[in-house]
Structure 1
Amino acid sequence: MPLWLKRSIQIFSGLILLVIVIFIGLAMYVSANKKELQAAITKELNKNLNGNLTIETIEPTFLKGFPNVSVSLKKVEIKDSLWNIHHHSLLTAGDLDISVNTMALLKGTIEIRKVTINDASIYLYTDSNGYSNTSVFKKKPEKEPEVKEESSSATQIRRFDLNAVRFILDNRKGNKLFLFAIQDFSGKIDYPSSGWKADVNLKTLVRSLAFNTKRGSFVKDKLLEGKMDISYNEKAGMIEVKPNTLNIGTDPFILGAKFKLSKDPVEFSISVEAPHILWKNASALLAPNITSRLNMFNLNKPIFAKAIIEGNMGAGGDPSIFVKARIKDNTLTGFGGVVDNCNFAGVYTNNFINGKGYTDENSAIKLYHFSGSYKELPFTIDTVFIHNLDKPVATGIFKSQFNVAKLGTLLGTDVLNFTKGTADVKLNYSADIVDFKLNKPMLTGTINVKNADVSYVPRNVNFKNTSIFLDFKGPDLLIHDIRLQSGKSVVFMDGSVKNFLNLYYNSPEKILLNWRMHSPDLYLGDFLAFLGTRKNRVPVKSKNKSNSFATQINTMLEKGNAEINLRVDKVHYSKFTGTNATADVFLSENGLSLKNVSLKHGGGLIKLNGKLQQNGRLNNFALNTVVSNVNISNFFYSFDNFGLESPTYKNLRGSFFTKTNITGSIDGQGKLIPRSMNGNVSFDLKKGALVNYNAVKSIGKFAFPFRNLDNITFDNLNGNFDINGRLVTIKPMMINSSLLNMNLAGVYATTGKGTNILLDVPLRNPKKDEDIIDKQELKERRMKGIVVHILATDGEDGKIKFKLVGKKDKEN
């Protein structure tokens, strides 16, 4: 072995031996002076206390702190001066280990380098008057900062280690309760000129973090674990926890905080950021009153969230809470529905209006640039604003463009079934939130539907190329530019509904629509389905719950009322065609009412008023009509001869005038129910003619062989009929024609048997009196000569049979 190496080993071994000897000597010194050392340590620790620190026993633990001298303090307790009143010790520790600087000890001074606390309780108590047991620590007098980086103060602690420590901050004045079950709280402390810095390892279970015990705890029963960088600036009186990643439960957070000790009460600001966390996990970290509100929603994918909590340790109540979040390509559940492909940025604050307090009433949620898809309907909302979480109200501007065929996913297809078309929606809404659902939103804005094909399923009515523009104005609904096409009919409409939204939500059956309608061509046959029996709506299966929106729409369409001012260029029904038609129509659940109906037909004018009431499969009607100067042949043709078998429109000529007051029934196809008509008809036929009427010709060819039976003319024919089912009572009337004159009265059966009409026919040829101008003379000559009495009755073949009767038979 080289000599230099041998000498080095000898020197090194000597140094080690010297240290061992010194350390053994120190151990012997500590053991020999245990009572004095305990008293010195107690005295040192009590220097800056306004109270009392007690240590039951002190034992040397040399190897723990080598090369420093370590001692273990058993059953350590720190009490403030008012402990006898509140009985909350600031510190009770079963085992407190202190490592003391060896060199300082040799000089006769105590310099604590490390403190280890095991199985302990730290209780920071503040009573309702604001007194705190932390007053046990004396305040240091202000002094100039030292130039040296490290202070030589004997009370500086370089390292600390807390295990199984229960930390409690109980502020009765501020209603605050912090309770931590610390499993590990360890680190080292440096002392720069500004104050101190600590690098900390933390693992603790948060039992309570209640900034207001009336509201409940934040982060309750969550494990908090990670590293912390803590510094104290003595001049600013500020403790700062620099942002660092910690785990709260299973989720990583970036946590930072500031505590301003120079303020009374102490002010704090805590920042908690979660880069990737589930919504439910994030809301569960907040106080129950906030959690219950945020749980109005749920998002099934992780989100970014950040919360800033600011307040003080005084009696100021809740702290200020500001939360912001970013959501991308997520699924939102809330407001009673599910939104897919959801994107938005959101914030929550409990201080919406400064000075109004940190309360639910002054809380708000804002969701910016909200977009998504609800039941396959894409939409955007610039800002969703929910204010006053005590009685939450949501507002925003809803925008959407979609194919209306997708409305089936929202409305179902058993009321309105859309198959094509587009919709453009822009609505400002305001709605209460009840049981986490939007309740009766108030709307302003527009809905524009174009080129839509839709079926009203309960009535089996189909509309093509439909357009509609809905304009919500406050409580009212204005409806513009409606185009409906069903079959060959095209209808243009606009109108309004007063107090629409209120009635829609509360009493849809009371809705009254005011319509103005115009049609160039209206074919009533296209709408006959409204006369048929309404199809029952298929109930929604219970597992999907009731579609309230579809139910309200269905109720409104079926039970709501409408007042319509109608103008039609041409109206068609079966063989009837009218022009320049106008009408006031009132629609209700049970039928319709017609007023001021006027239209041109057959060169004349028809006016009517009436009602149509649906009663099961029948539709009962009541009509009052006035027909003026209508071509009688066209008139009878258009209405299928009004059920008469003879004469028909082919036999009639002339200008027809009539007034009717009748009731009756029609079926679901618009056809008259046989024998259902009742009422009164009066008529006047001017310049009329009976052409090729076989019933007259069959008798006339024998009775009047030299008269024109093919064209029997009437200068003025009028009469009055009472209708009772299939029987028509002809009140006495005088007929003056080119063939003959006659008086008649009786009963005519439109179908079946029952005809019994008596005719008084003078055989005198009316041609002989053509030159007589005097009306009185004509009347006197009219019945002169031979008068034939004819009875029209039922024949065996079902046709009318005419037979001569005597005057005596007539009187009987």
Structure 2
Amino acid sequence: MPRWLKTLFKIFAILVGLLLIALVAATSYINFHKQYFLNAIIKELNKNLHGGTLTIASMNPSFLSGFPGISVTLKDVVLRDSLWKVHHHTLLEAKNFNISVNAFALMHGAIKINKMGLDQATIYLYTDSTGYSNTFVLRKQEKPKSSAAKNDNSTAEVRQFYLNQVNFILDNQKGHKLFHFAVDNLKGKIDYKNDDWNANLNLKVLAKSMAFNTLRGSFIKDKLLQGTIVAAFNATNGIITVAPNTLNIGDDPFIISGKFSTIKNPGDFTIDITEHEILWKRASALLAPNITSHLNMFDLKHPFDVNAVIAGSFNKGGDPAIDVKCTVKNNTLSTPEGTVDSCSFQAAFTNNYIKGKGLTDENSAIKIYQLTGNYEQVPFRVDTGIISNLNKPIAAGKLKSKFAVARLNHLFSETLNLTKGTADLDLSYTANIVDFKLVKPIVHGLVNIKNADVNYLPRKLNFKNTSISLNFTGDDLYLKNIHLQSGRSIVYMEGSVKNFLNLYYTAPEKILVNWQIRSPQLYLGEFLGFLSGKRSTTVKKRNSTNFADQLNTVLEKGSADMHLHVDKAYYFKFMATDVNADLLLSETGIEMKNVQVKNSGGSVNLNGRITQNGVLNHFAINTSVNNVNISNFFYSFDNFGLKDFTYKNLRGFLFLKSNISGNLTDQGKIVPRSINGTVNLNLKKGALLDFEPITNVGKFAFPLRNLNNITFNNLDGKFDLHGDKITINPMMINSSVLNMNVAGIYSLSKGTNIALDIPLRNPKKDEGITNQQEKQERRMKGIVLHILASDGENGKIKFGWNKNHH
């Protein structure tokens, strides 16, 4: 080693040795003058105190821990304000208060604090309900202007500080604020430039409470804060600025910055928090419970980007202003109404929606922009949406969507099967949110469905090329431009529902649709599904949405008031023209009013009801038939179940009034022998053709008369129907070839018993008599045959003499 280098090392060693000797000497000096230096330190620390008391139990110097300065440990330090005996909250209570002083300044009799630290301490900043604070003891004193003060070499500037195992509590009773931080470790360095300073802090702190309003609860409760904070103080404006830097809150790294005011509006602050990938539940858990409870009704499967700005005051009462913005891309959103897949949107939360209305839940709002996604496989877009007043939430927005209707099949697997066709939605809405569900919505806009094939499963109804336009106008719904095709039937419909949206969610069974229906041709047999009971299904029930459940209830329990006009209507063999009817369809059946049809050259009017009872359906109908061709009429209704008396045996024009009831199958056919009621008929210009029971009698009773074509101008009759029995009330038949009186029972099974009184007198002999009374008296003159029609073999009617006639 060169000589000069050896010499340099020796000089350095001597200097270090001298420094150590000096520090040991200074430490020994302090140790022998503990009380003096303790009083000096207390005096230095009391410089900025305003009243109150500072007590220190003892002091232990140590030069090594504060090298190259001298470290002093103050034991059991207690700082209290002058009103401590009133509120009993100690401002500072520390097991160890460590201070490192400038050794060279100490040699000149001055104390300069380089480093300060607390171990096992509690700092309690207390403000009572009147606004008095125990921090008044630290109120800054005005600087003395004397030259002596200016030349004072001592300073209270602290270059370094640390906290270990320190509880920091800010309890503001007047402002309802409570901040409690359990500091595991905090280290900081401060650089001064005149009255300005820059600080760098490393911390590990547990936030036990960060309640800006204790009535609302705490932010980041029981979350660990760990990281670095870089701050700067500007003495001119009194602002402490925290530069953006990463700080871990719980398991998530946040970029945090902020500003804190110390002169103008002291205690005011603004904190900016950003996290580029955070889970919804974690973000929600960082907020106060009153906000968390609302946000937790939603969830996002994947992380998203969020920024929050919190602005308020540590001193003043009330909540801070909170503004949160987030960006979500291709995520999965869970809501009380269902799940939204492929979800993207931008959102903003504020508790100051209307400026000047206060920072409250009532003045809070969640705004959503450019929301897109798939709800239950249905794509949609909401350009702008808002949920306002989180105390009584109101949702509003504009919804657009266009999709194939087949995407809805999984929602209505037990009700509807949809193929082909598209749906186009353009709706604006407003609705209350109660228990996280939409209530009393008000909707404006259109839903257009085009070219859809619909199979309504419970009623086994099929419609082709279906189109419908739904026009929502607030509470009411208008249904327009509806085109239905089922088999050969074509139907055009217009409808409306008053108070639709309110009833849809609260009482769907009370919904009544008013329909105006017209059809060029209607085959009623294609709509017999309305007579069917609900079809049982083996399809496994899914966990459907509230919307789907409601719609299923509406379809099954709602009612329809139908005003119908049909050019041609077909019902099996029955064909009617110019049909007009008022029909009320409900869950229990069909009520028919003012039904008017033209048939067989005449008209038919009826009123009645069909009540659904599973497979069988009960009907009760009042009918008026006017001037219809009786042969065509009997043919249309399969001879009303009669076997011996068919449309082939009849001619003439029928006038009829009936009041009957009976049963229908789910195929629309009358159940044999189920009809009860009365029928009053009048047949004009009638004829009985080839009626075998009469022709058989004629072979031996009237061999010279043509009984194959019996005509009569006017025939009146009354019949009572009782299941398989038809009671023929006494009836006089005046015909071209014979007269007869008929009464008795005709049975569709067994029990036929009909008495026929037939005079042998030929009616042709009385054709010249114009006096009706005389003609009536001569009607039964002469020999009268008394014949009994009764049950024969093979269901045929047999004729014999009526032995019971007297």
Establish whether TM, by shorter chain, passes 0.5: yes
Asked if structure 1 preserves the Cα contact closer than 8 Å seen for 2:582 and 2:593, the reply is yes
- Corresponding residue for residue 172 of structure 2: 171
Change (3 A) 1:293 1:558: closer
The residue aligned with 1:453 is 453
Change (3 A) 1:540 1:551: farther
SS at match of 1:614: strand
Deviations 1:467-487 (A, max 9, x none): 332233333222223333333
CA displacement, residues 96-118 of structure 1 (integer Å, 9 cap, x when unaligned) = 33333343333332222222332
**In 2, Cα distance between equivalents of 1:57 and 1:609:** 108
The verdict on how the C-alpha distance between 1:353 and 1:211 changes in structure 2, with shifts beyond 3 A counting, is same
- 1:306 & 1:53 partners in 2: Cα distance? 43
Task: State yes or no: 1:485 paired with 2:485.
Answer: yes
CA 1:803–1:357: 2 relative to 1, 3 Å: same
Q: Greater CA deviation, 162-171 or 32-41? A: 32-41
Q: Report Cα offsets for 1:141-196 as digits up to 9, x if no partner.
A: 3799xxxxxx9762222222222222222222222222222222222212224521
- Which runs of structure 2 are paired with 1:672-751 in the superposition (5 Å)? 672-701=670-699, 703-751=701-749
In structure 1, the partner of 2:648 is 650
Distance apart, 1:22 and its partner CA: 4.2
SS at 1:47's partner residue? helix
Matches of 1:442 and 1:669 in 2, distance apart? 41
Query: Is residue 2:275 matched to residue 1:274?
Result: yes
Higher mean displacement: 281-290 or 771-780: 771-780
1:36 shift after superposition: 3.4
Provide the secondary structure at the position in 2 that maps to 1:63: coil
Do 1:208 and 1:217's aligned partners in 2 also have CA atoms closer than 8 Å? Answer: yes
Question: Matches of residues 54-203 of structure 1 in structure 2 within 5 Å?
Answer: 54-141=55-142, 154-193=155-194, 195-203=196-204
For residue 362 of structure 2, what is the amino acid of its counterpart? E
Counterparts in 2 of 1:177 and 1:749: CA distance versus 1, 3 Å: closer
User: Against the structure 1 CA distance between its residues 728 and 194, is the aligned structure 2 distance closer, same or farther, given a 3 Å change threshold?
Assistant: same
- Per the alignment, residue 799 of structure 1 pairs with 796
Equivalences for residues 568-579 of structure 1 within 5 A: 568-579=566-577
Q: Secondary structure at the match of 1:293?
A: helix
Displacement of 1:252 after TM fit? 0.5
The whole-number CA distance in structure 2 between the counterparts of 1:797 and 1:99 is 128
Equivalent position of 2:526 in the other structure: 526
What one-letter code is carried by the residue in structure 2 that aligns with 1:137?
Answer: L
Secondary structure of the 2:662 match is: strand
Q: Which residue of 2 aligns with 1:148?
A: none
One-letter amino acid of the counterpart of residue 336, structure 2? F
1:561 aligns with 2:562: no
Q: Which residue of 1 aligns with 2:148?
A: none
CA distance in 1, matches of 2:7, 2:156: 42
In structure 1, what is the equivalent of residue 214 of structure 2? 213
* 8 Å CA contact 1:764, 1:785 repeated in 2: no
Structure 1 pair 85–677 and aligned structure 2 pair: CA distance change class (3 A) = closer
Instruction: Note the C-alpha offset of 1:583.
Output: 0.9
Residue in structure 1 matched with residue 473 of structure 2 by the alignment? 473
Q: Does 1:261 align with 2:259?
A: no
Aligned residue runs from structure 1 range 407-422, under 5 A:
407-411=408-412, 413-422=413-422
Preserved contact between residue 163 and residue 182 of structure 1 (Cα < 8 Å) = yes
Whole-angstrom distance in 2 between the partners of 1:744 and 1:117:
124
- 1:754-788 deviation digits (Å, cap 9, x = unpaired): 1323132344362x666666666765665566655
Instruction: Give the AA of the match of 1:298.
Output: D
Distance of aligned partners of 1:79 and 1:646 in 2 relative to their CA distance in 1, 3 Å threshold: closer
1:627-646 Cα distance to aligned partner (Å, 9 max, x none)? 22222221111111222223
Could you list the per-position Cα deviations for residues 580-610 of structure 1 after superposition, in whole angstroms to 9, with x for gaps in the alignment?
Answer: 1111112233322222111111122122222
Matched-pair contact (CA < 8 Å) for 1:761–1:790:
no
Q: Does the CA-based 8 Å contact 1:753-1:798 persist in structure 2?
A: no
Q: How many residues align?
A: 801
Give the corresponding residue for 1:625.
623
Match for residue 149 of structure 2?
A: none
Pick closer, same or farther for the CA change 1:152–1:595 going to 2, 3 Å. same
Q: Specify every segment of 5 or more residues in structure 2 that has no aligned partner in the other structure, as ranges.
A: 146-151
Distance 1:797-1:101 versus aligned 2 partners, 3 A rule: closer
TM-score, structure 2 as length reference: 0.91
Q: Secondary structure of 1:65's match?
A: coil
1:759 aligns with 2:760: no
Matched, 1:392 2:390: no
Letter in 2 for 1:375: E
Aligned to 2:41: 41
- Between stretches 471-480 and 740-749, larger displacement belongs to 740-749
- Shift of the alpha carbon at 1:576? 1.0
Residue aligning to 2:227:
226
Q: By how many angstroms is 1:128 displaced?
A: 2.5
Counterpart of 2:290 in 1: which secondary structure?
A: helix
Q: Tell me the residue number matched to 2:300.
A: 299
| Greater displacement, 730-739 / 363-372 | 730-739
Measured against aligned partners, the alpha-carbon deviations of 1:202-238 in whole angstroms (never above 9, x if no partner) come to 2212222222222222222221111111111112122
- Report the residue type matching 2:133 in the other structure: S
**Alpha-carbon distance between aligned partners in 1 of 2:262 and 2:521, rounded to the nearest angstrom:** 85
Contact 1:72 1:97 in 2 (8 A): yes
Letter of the 2:527 counterpart: F
Identity %: 55
Q: Which amino acid aligns with 2:417?
A: N
CA distance in 1, matches of 2:708, 2:805: 32
Q: Secondary structure at the match of 2:214?
A: coil
Q: In 1, Cα distance between the equivalents of 2:242 and 2:361?
A: 29
1:244-282 alpha-carbon deviations (Å, 9 max, x no partner): 111111210111222211135521112222221111111
Residues 161 and 755 (structure 1), Cα distance of their counterparts in 2 relative to 1, 3 Å cut: same
Q: Give the AA of the match of 1:524.
A: L
Find the aligned partners of 1:795 and 1:160 in 2 and give their Cα distance: 123
Distance 1:126 1:217 in 2: 18
Question: How many angstroms apart in 2 are the aligned matches of 1:11 and 1:796?
Answer: 149
Q: For 1:315 and 1:485, how far apart are their aligned partners in 2?
A: 70
User: Does the aligned pair in 2 maintain the 1:387–1:394 contact within 8 Å?
Assistant: yes
Letter in 1 for 2:624: V
Give CA deviations for 1:606-656 in whole Å, capped at 9, x if unaligned: 222222223454323222222222222211111112222233222222223
CA RMSD in angstroms, aligned pairs only: 3.2
Cα deviation per residue 1:287-340 (whole Å; 9 max; x = unaligned)? 222222221222222122222221223342222222222222222222253222
Q: 1:484 to 1:12 in 2, by over 3 A?
A: same
- Tell whether the 8 Å contact from 1:789 to 1:810 is kept in structure 2 after alignment: no
1:243 is aligned to 244
CA distance in 1, matches of 2:112, 2:671: 116
Amino acid across the alignment from 2:216: R
Which residue of the partner structure matches residue 358 of structure 1? 359
Structure 1 769/213 Cα, relative in aligned 2: closer, same or farther at 3 Å?
A: closer
Deviation at 1:707? 4.4
Please tell me whether the aligned partners of residues 756 and 794 of structure 1 are also in contact (alpha carbons under 8 angstroms): no
Q: 1:139/1:686 Cα in 2 relative to 1: closer, same or farther (>3 Å)?
A: same
Moved more, 317-326 or 131-140: 131-140
Conserved? CA contact 1:764–1:784, under 8 Å: no
Aligned to 1:500: 500
How far apart, CA to CA, are the structure 1 residues paired with 2:33 and 2:721? 135
Go from structure 1 to structure 2 and tell me whether the alpha carbon gap of 1:111 and 1:558 turns closer, same or farther (over 3 Å shift): closer
Letter of the 1:489 counterpart: S
2: CA distance between counterparts of 1:366 and 1:323? 10
SS of the equivalent of 1:391 reads coil
> Which string of whole-angstrom CA distances, capped at 9 and with x for unpartnered residues, describes residues 77-111 of structure 1?
33334344444333333333333334333333222
| In 2: Cα distance, 1:156 partner to 1:719 partner | 124
Work out the CA distance in 2 between the residues paired with 1:121 and 1:734: 119
